[in-house]
Structure 1
Amino acid sequence: MDIFYIGEQQVTLNQVAPTSSVFRWLDATHDEVAADPEAWRDAVEKMTGTRLYDLHLRDAVNLTHPSYFDSTQDYVMVVFRKLALHADTSTITDNEGIKRKVPAALNKLLTLPVSFFLLDNALVTVRSTHSQSIENARTRMLSYKHKAEGNSHSVRLPTSPEDLMLRLLNSMVDQYLDLRQPLTLQLDRWQHALLDPRKPFKNWIALLDSRIELRKLDHLCEEQHDALQELRDYIVDTHDGTENGNGRSKDLLLVRVNDVIEHIGRVLNHARRLEASLESAVQIHFAAMAHRTSEIMRTLTVITALFMPLTLITGIFGMNFVKMPMLDMASGFWIIMSIMLGLVVLLLGYFRSKRYFEERAMQQSSRTHDTRG
């Protein structure tokens, strides 16, 4: 576990607490906590004076825990599921242990929990070994002490544990926002494949897996939104902003938490739009298939209607009677052929008058126009 002492102008790591430190940040990984939970909890209690509850300690090492908020008299716990960008997600295992292949864009939706324990003067985080958001925050704060002097363009340090937690949450949510474009491109490819008339769509398993992943993203964003909304209510209820001129700090915290909630809402709305677009593409696909089947059946019906009278005539003259009209006539064959041809012409004219061929002709003309264009 790493201990950061965050002051107004510098950040120190694993050293004796400076007198100018504002608060502490205790950063640990799931492996460190799971190796000896009791020893880790004792170390946190020694540093902060607050003892974590058993249920919250188990939640912190539970890698399947959903996004969650809970508050006690001594601290606040927030669990947030972040993207596991460094994990191998070419295949995803479902609840039944079945591995499923998903497209390149959707295989980035594997998530891992990050647990935040918000204390009076400290922030405790439990996260995966490779957490890009937290590693970047650590690097920025440690480099701040070297650049603080004479550097007027440096980003200011967090002023409170709440401020630090919201900054970390904001960077984690931004990773979801970065997925919007690749997800949209992937769904566009699905739509083109579904509506391509030149070849039938066969990759239904991958399409179903993609729909499952989008539904998971929808549920994940809802859980995150609920957890952050409860955190916002907690800040509103507990930070009255009337003591020591903390009204501005409360407003800044509310601005940050509202910004994070708004970003989660954007991801949630985008996931729902993608899911609706995918559903619409599937429905259009089946509608196009039904239309194509209707066209085929109409063509077969016309052909059958044309050959039915011809089959009747040939069947009549194929009967084994000794005496039949026109059997002894030299021009009998040509007369029958003329009658059959006339029937075909009459039926074609009737079908044209009923506009059975109008839609097909319009489609052929539009295809010709597109080809020339």
Structure 2
Amino acid sequence: MDIFLISDNQVSESKEIPDTVPAKGFLWIDATHEEVGADPEAWRNAITRATGVQIYDPHMTDTLNPNHPSYFDSTQDYGMVVFRKLMLNGAADAGDKSSASKTVSPESEGSKRRIPAALSKLATQPVTFLVMDHALITVHERYSRTIEAARTRLLDLCNKPEKTPHSTRPPTSPEDLLLRLINAMVDQYLDLRQPLTTQLDRWQRALLDPRRPFKDWMALLDARIELRKLENLCEEQHDAMQELRDYFVDIDDGVEISRAKDLLLVRIHDVMEHITRVLNHARRLESSIESAVQIHFSAVAHRTNEIMRTLTVITALFMPLTLITGIFGMNFIEMPLLKNNAGFWIAMAGMVAIVIGMLVFFQRRRYLESQALDRR
């Protein structure tokens, strides 16, 4: 558990939760699910002593729920945000490997197929934010790259008490720190756009490759499922941020909004815009998959039509020949050309003439044009 006291461009770190509400500045109390789950009641009592705010039982349950969707709720004393962040590469190594494997490899029992690397990065985990007047409380899994980066920056500020012209400005309020953390989490989704696009482009080329049939249909289905999950996730995040924005506006109680509040609203609108970009990108990728599949089946149907046209022409050429051989195969005693020494050659010449005539007819009706000529 990490505890930081942030005030007036100064940051100090503590190992224990203080017993009193800070007179100046605010507290950032960061804990993991394991630390809270070990003794939830003792942890809640410590938070109450440090902040003067009692966390409600339903919110304690939501805090420890690893499958909770992104949402926002508020009381008279605090606001609660649950935001699902990406569980990137380090999570599976530094975090709980058993839970990570369940999330990163969503494969059915007995199945040997695996989701491609680009899609396995869409595994998420919840981070709970409790924003109060003088404190921000975060609860997350054992490893969080965003929380770790914010913690490192604050520790750097602790080691540099002198303010330099280009030094990083510490958060001015719990709401400011909350939006900084969420904005960093949303940026991780933006970083996934390029690998996802590359993976789908690879599938599109494989779908339209005429030299080899496409066989990775289950992976393509998994991709569509994961993109649909990402779309739903972004919608939940956007709704949560919209409710958080309304919460920031409503807590002014009709008083004129200060410059600090304006900056918070600008920051939250920036977060919502980033979420919208991720949502639009997920929808474009899903639409690209559907378009590629439709083009694939159209190309397959075109090739099938070409094959059927060739077979139809061959069948049409042999039909009159079959008729002639069938006629001469009748068991009549007297038939024309049977006793003629040149009968065989006359029949063969007639068959060749019929084939040549039909080929000329088909050529004039454009039945025998090659695919290369069609492309021209």
Same fold (TM over 0.5): yes
Aligned residues: 363
The CA distance in 2 between the partners of 1:164 and 1:357, in whole Å, is 72
SS at match of 1:13: strand
Aligned pairs for 1:141-220 (under 5 A) are: 141-220=154-233
Unmatched segments (≥5 aa) in structure 1: 367-373
> In the superposition, relative to structure 1, how do residues 241 and 141 fare at CA in structure 2: closer, same or farther (>3 Å)?
farther
The CA distance in 2 between the partners of 1:18 and 1:44, in whole Å, is 10
The CA distance in 2 between the partners of 1:23 and 1:38, in whole Å, is 23
| Aligned counterpart in structure 2 of residue 251 of structure 1, from 249, 262, 270 | 262
The CA distance in 2 between the partners of 1:317 and 1:104, in whole Å, is 68
The alpha carbon displacement at 1:240 in A equals 5.7
SS at match of 2:28: strand
Identity of aligned residues (%): 64
> In the superposition, relative to structure 1, how do residues 147 and 99 fare at CA in structure 2: closer, same or farther (>3 Å)?
farther
Q: Is the 8 A contact 1:92 1:100 kept in 2?
A: no
1:318 aligns with 2:335: no
Aligned pairs for 1:1-373 (under 5 A) are: 1-14=1-14, 21-85=24-88, 86-88=90-92, 92-93=105-106, 101-239=114-252, 242=255, 247-358=258-369, 360-363=371-374
The CA distance in 2 between the partners of 1:333 and 1:94, in whole Å, is 69
> In the superposition, relative to structure 1, how do residues 4 and 276 fare at CA in structure 2: closer, same or farther (>3 Å)?
same
> In the superposition, relative to structure 1, how do residues 241 and 249 fare at CA in structure 2: closer, same or farther (>3 Å)?
farther
The alpha carbon displacement at 1:67 in A equals 0.1
SS at match of 1:358: coil
The CA distance in 2 between the partners of 1:50 and 1:63, in whole Å, is 24
| Segment of structure 1 superposing worse, 56-65 or 314-323 | 314-323
Q: Is the 8 A contact 1:122 1:161 kept in 2?
A: yes
Q: Is the 8 A contact 1:84 1:109 kept in 2?
A: yes
The code of the aligned residue for 2:132 comes to L
Q: Is the 8 A contact 1:241 1:250 kept in 2?
A: no
The code of the aligned residue for 1:267 comes to V
The CA distance in 2 between the partners of 1:228 and 1:97, in whole Å, is 40
The CA distance in 1 between the partners of 2:14 and 2:44, in whole Å, is 18
Q: Is the 8 A contact 2:91 2:144 kept in 1?
A: no
Q: Tell me the equivalent position of 2:96.
A: none
> In the superposition, relative to structure 1, how do residues 92 and 44 fare at CA in structure 2: closer, same or farther (>3 Å)?
same
> In the superposition, relative to structure 1, how do residues 117 and 150 fare at CA in structure 2: closer, same or farther (>3 Å)?
closer
The alpha carbon displacement at 1:279 in A equals 0.5
The alpha carbon displacement at 1:19 in A equals 7.5
The alpha carbon displacement at 1:358 in A equals 2.8
The CA distance in 1 between the partners of 2:254 and 2:190, in whole Å, is 32
The CA distance in 1 between the partners of 2:236 and 2:372, in whole Å, is 54
Listed one character per residue, the Cα deviations across residues 342-361 of structure 1 (whole Å, up to 9, x for unaligned) are: 11111111111221123534
SS at match of 2:199: helix
Aligned CA-pair RMSD: 2.1
> In the superposition, relative to structure 1, how do residues 298 and 343 fare at CA in structure 2: closer, same or farther (>3 Å)?
same
> In the superposition, relative to structure 1, how do residues 97 and 35 fare at CA in structure 2: closer, same or farther (>3 Å)?
farther
The code of the aligned residue for 1:155 comes to T
The code of the aligned residue for 2:82 comes to V
Q: Is the 8 A contact 1:79 1:113 kept in 2?
A: yes
SS at match of 2:139: strand
SS at match of 1:255: helix
The alpha carbon displacement at 1:2 in A equals 2.0
The alpha carbon displacement at 1:230 in A equals 0.6
Q: TM-score with structure 1 length normalisation?
A: 0.92
> In the superposition, relative to structure 1, how do residues 186 and 325 fare at CA in structure 2: closer, same or farther (>3 Å)?
same
Q: Tell me the equivalent position of 1:369.
A: none
The alpha carbon displacement at 1:318 in A equals 1.6
Q: TM-score with structure 2 length normalisation?
A: 0.91
| Segment of structure 1 superposing worse, 145-154 or 164-173 | 145-154
Unmatched segments (≥5 aa) in structure 2: 93-99
Q: Is the 8 A contact 2:21 2:134 kept in 1?
A: no
